[in-house]
Structure formats: structure tokens, C-alpha cells
Structure 1
Amino acid sequence: MSASLKTNFLGFDYENPFMNASGVHCMSTTELDELANSKAGAFITKSSTPNDRTGNPSPRYVSVPLGSINSMGLPNKGIDYYLDYVLDRQAKYPNEAPIFFSVAGMSVDDNLSMLHKIQNSNFNGVTELNLSCPNVPGKPQVAYDFELTIEILTKVFDFFKKPLGIKLPPYFDFAHFEIMSDILNKFPLTYVNSINSVGNGLYIDVEKESVVIKPKNGFGGIGGEYVKPTALANVRAFYTRLNPSIKIIGTGGIKSGQDAFEHLLCGATMLQIGTELQKEGVSIFDRVTKELQEIMDKKGYKTIDEFRGKLNSL
């Protein structure tokens, strides 16, 4: 009998731990339907802002040999578009596994107003607050500003009573893992999603002696194979520091079943795929589930829980 990829998250059994990363293949209802009908265990909406945004000028996303570089600028159709979609889907498919809903305001007030809207709606899925977007020009992104992170989460949990996770940027210092974990452990978070892209990389076209994306003079977030070691480190660092009630969604550099296995070994419960989904389309979920199952069968694991988080040290 083949290994089971069933994953329990918030009391619901998902068929497998795989999802899209917010921002990839989730802009329109058509793309969201394709995710819902794919082999992905769950899916998440495009990070929404209070109103629709066209985002940054193109080219703003470029596939490069070991991943991608992007500076999208949060293009999306606005919170009402996605909220209408998820509420409609809930009504049509009441037994479907809960949907993930992402918000990423351009300011603290944006985030609070959108979370109020979700709190007051009939949405019964999981909300993800993206704290790894830039906030104020001249300031670091929110999750690199520890005082602002405390302020936002305090305000959010004053009124928000539904399941809430947060998306984090990568951290690179043990001191920052410690500080952020101490902050997050004070709040009733459902999960931490780690990592968003590694910020402000630069990719160069040698033939043209030029950058490859237009916004920010070519500086953009790096994703794909480039970031997997950083993603694994962040998943592991938070898994070993956060309260066990706060689950980890592992994101970054997943393009094969082996990559998925490594994220799970580090302690992730769910897994999001971004760059490779952009390159391959929703058929990737069929491939990576089979590859993960083959690895588990070869190792004699019947369930993911048998090895999740059990990474050995030397």
C-alpha cells in the first residue's frame, strides 16, 4: 500500500500538503478554478489590496536558469473580487477543504480594514496576512520592523477571531530568529509561512549589459532553486522555536518531491510552490505528489507525520 500524503491542518484533512504560493496562478477566478481542480491539496488567493491594482510596469517577472526574479507591485483585482469568489465556492462546495485567503495592504490601515471585512463575512477558511511587503518608502518591509510587527498583530488580534497565519520574509541571523519567534509566540497565530522571496536581488543579461526587469532599476525578489537553502533554514529555525500550536508552511525552491521531503523534514506542515508552478503550470502538483510518494515508499514511511520535523543533526 502506497504512502498517504494526507495532511491534517486546523482539524481538516487535506489530500496532500501542496498549494500554490500566493501571487502565482491565482490572479483570476479562472486560475483559481484550475488550482481547485488540480492535484494540489489546497490553494490560496492572490494577495489582495482594498482596491484593484495594476502593479509595476513590465517586464516585472522573468524566469532565469535557477529560478526567477520579480518586482510585481501587488497586481490584483481587489479584496471584493476574491472574497466573492471564496464565498461562492464555499456555498457550492460546503464539504471542500478550507480555502486560504491572502491580504497584503499597502499600509497598516489597509490591512486592518481588509481583516475587518473578512471577520464580518461568512468566510470560514484560513486568512494569510502578508507581512513581507514593503510598507512605507524608506522603511524596511513590515516583518523586518519588529516594533511595527508587534503593533500590527496586537491591533489585529483585538478583533480578528478567525484562523490567521502570516507570511514572512527570510531572516539571516540567529538573533532575528529569536526575536521574531518571541514576538510570534505571544499571539494566537495559526501558522507562519516562510519564506517570501529573497529581497532585492539583481539578475544581469550579459549580452545587453542590462538588468532584466524594469521596476526598481532591476532589483527584485529572487525565487526558485536559488532560495531553497535559505527557505529550509527559516522553516527549521521557526519550527524549533515557535509554540507547537503554530504550524509552518514551507515555501521556497520546491520543484521536486525531494525538495518537498526536505521541507517536511525541517518541520513544515503544508508546502507552497511558486516559481516552478509559474514555469510548469498546475500539472506540477501531479508530478511532485507522485515523487514525494515514491520517496516515502522507498524509505518505508506510511505517513508524513512519521518523519515531519525529525531532521538529524551531526
Structure 2
Amino acid sequence: MAPRLSLEPPLLNAACPWASDLSFLRPLYASPSTGAITTRTSLVDGYPHDDAKNTFLFYDPSNSSSSTGVAPQSFPSQQPLGNSGSLNCFGLSPHVLATYLDWVRTLAAEFPNSSKPIIVSVTGETPESNADAVRRVIALASEVHTPLAVEINLSCPNVPGHPPPAYDASELAAYLGALPANPPIPVGLKTPPYTSPSQFTMLVNAVAAAQPKISFLTGTNTLGNCVVLDSAGAAILPSDGGFGGLAGPAIHPLSLGNVVTLRKLLNEAGLADTVDIIGVGGVSDAMGYKRMRAAGAKAVAVATALGKQGVAVFDTILKPTAKL
């Protein structure tokens, strides 16, 4: 059985723009309301980020003409209330994996008494380069006292020419097949939003066949191929066609449905005590957190609300005031 994540409280950030560098990661790690943190997804050789094309916006889901394009800022965020939805065309981190591993070393040195896990989010252009990234994180785990895990992002919808491998059975099998056979740290997959029974079955079958490599799933990433138009009918994002990945409140019901379905199918496949789920998608308060937990998530991750509210959002979520 692969090692499993252990985090308390069961709340963390998702791999997102607000985990891009040490200025974001340090306050996330210092927060008493996070039980773990996740880095932004990186490649061994980095991603060709372009500030003119790779960006995002906050918008009002009920009135898309009300929107605000914002570059990620260091915490604390001081974004105005409203415009709680988000759409992004970021792609992956411009920082190479080695830089994130150095930042992990820095956090381990700055917090010598902490046992809070750090989840390093990685991916690769090929199954082999992805496996190389995983091996590098495993190697670091033997150097630092800080518990490490690795999340393999096979679900980003914003990488040109590279559709999410987790939508394709043969690609998914190839990525899983290339992974180390018995990883000494927890290894998980970040999955895209699934919308049909065959997609869920494909994923669970692939995870079951790959055991004991995978110990958690993070569901879901953003929903691709979405557009927000301004009052004149023009796309707001600067990507080709204005397309980006949808996040925030609009994706919350879909993400809940993914968690419910995956938990059911994993249990039926005999993986109830083997594979955990981190639920992510549209959680911004205690009620959203409680819904994710009720759906079957062992832990809950936050992205859009983190960008809007800063690290204080985790304190707000854990306030024992909301009832499901």
C-alpha cells in the first residue's frame, strides 16, 4: 500500500497562481489553518509563460460584464468583494521544478519543528519526463524532515497542443505505468472535471491497475473551453478565442459531483482504505468546506477564494459557525 497523506486540519491550497513562489508559499505554510500546502504545478524545464497571454480574471458569475483582470499579488490580498468567479489561461508555472525544490528546502529550514506536509505539484510533457519529476521529489524527501508528497497534474486545460492526459485512457495508462513502482511518499493525481460515467470508470480502472502507486486524487481542476464576454460581446481573456479554465462558484456543483462519484467507484473497486480524495472547486466558506467533506473528500483545497481573500480565507472556513 502506498503511503497516505496525513494532514490536520484537512484544509489546504490547491495548485494555483497563488502558490507560484516563496512569497505565496511561506504565509500558506505558516498559517495554523492549513494542514498542508501545495505548490503551483511545475515542469522539470519550466513553462514558457507569457505575461501578455497567460493571465486570469475575476468576474461576477451572474453578470459577466462585471469583471476585473488582476495579476497575482503577494499576500495579503485586498481584492474587492464580489466578482467571485474566476477564469484563467495560465498554463503551468514559469519556474522550473528545481526552484520549487529549493523553496521546499527553505521552508524546511525556516520551520524546523513543523510536520506539515508540502505537496509538490508536477507534470511532464511525456510519461518519462513526468516520472523524472516524481523521482526528483522523492529524492528530496530523504533530505528534509518536512513530510513531502507529490501531485501529478494531468488535467490542465490551458497548455497549447497538450490536451489533459487524464481524459485519454491510453495516455493515462502510459503516465501511470512510468511511475516508480513503490513510491516512499504519497503520490496523487490531479484530475479534470469529468462529466460522463465512462470517464469516471476509466480513471478508477487505471488507478486500480496502477496500485500501489497512487494514494490520493485531487478533483477537480478547472473546466476548460470557457469564455467570459464583456458588455460589448468581446472575449476578455487574451488567449486565442478568449478561452480559459473555469473556477470558483460556477464549478462547485460539478466538483461535488466528481467527488461523490469517485468516492463511490473507488470504494466499489476495493480502494476505500487505499485512495483518498482532496476535493477542490468553488469552496470559499465553511458551508462549501462542509459540503466537500460530506461528498467524500478527506481534505478540501481552495484556489479562487484564496486569490480573493488571501490566507485569511482558511481561518474563515474553519470557523465553527456553519451547519450543513
Same fold judged by TM-score > 0.5?
A: yes
Displacement of 1:40 in angstroms is 2.0
Partner residue of 2:45? 51
1:81-92 maps to which residues of 2 (within 5 A)? 81-91=99-109, 92=111
CA displacement at 1:155 relative to structure 2: 1.1
- The 1:236–1:273 alpha-carbon spacing in structure 2 relative to 1, beyond 3 Å, is same
* 1:53 Cα deviation from its structure 2 partner: 3.4
Query: 1:161 and 1:40, CA in 2 relative to 1: closer, same or farther beyond 3 A?
Result: closer
1:202 paired with 2:231, answer no
In 2: Cα distance, 1:224 partner to 1:215 partner: 19
Do structure 1's residue 72 and structure 2's residue 66 form an aligned pair?
no
- Write the deviation string for residues 42-95 of structure 1: whole angstroms up to 9, x where unpaired: 211111111343524436200011311111021331111111121333344254
3-state SS of paired residue (2:92)? coil
Structure 2 stretches lacking a partner, 5+ long: 62-84
| 1:32 pairs with one of 25, 31, 34 | 25
User: What CA deviation, in whole Å up to 9, does each residue of 1:177-196 have, x standing for no partner?
Assistant: 12211111222211000000
Post-superposition shift, 1:162?
Answer: 2.4
CA root-mean-square deviation: 2.2
**Cα contact 2:7–2:117 (8 A) shared by 1:** no
Cα displacement (A) at 1:285: 0.8
Distance in 1 of aligned mates of 2:132 and 2:6: 28
Aligned with 1:100 (options 119, 122, 126): 119
2:282 to 253, 256, 262: 253
**Structure 1: 5+ residue runs without aligned partners?**
1-8, 300-314
Q: Is the 8 A contact 1:58 1:213 kept in 2?
A: no
Residue aligned with 1:120, SS: helix
Q: Identify the match of residue 196 of structure 2 among 173, 190, 195.
A: 173
Give the match for residue 278 of structure 1: 307
Sequence identity (%): 27
CA distance in 1, matches of 2:136, 2:245: 29
d(CA) in 2 for partners of 1:137, 1:37? 35
Number of residue equivalences: 285
Q: What letter is aligned with 1:236?
A: V
1:213 paired to 2:230: no
Task: Answer with 197-206 or 156-165: which moved more.
Answer: 156-165
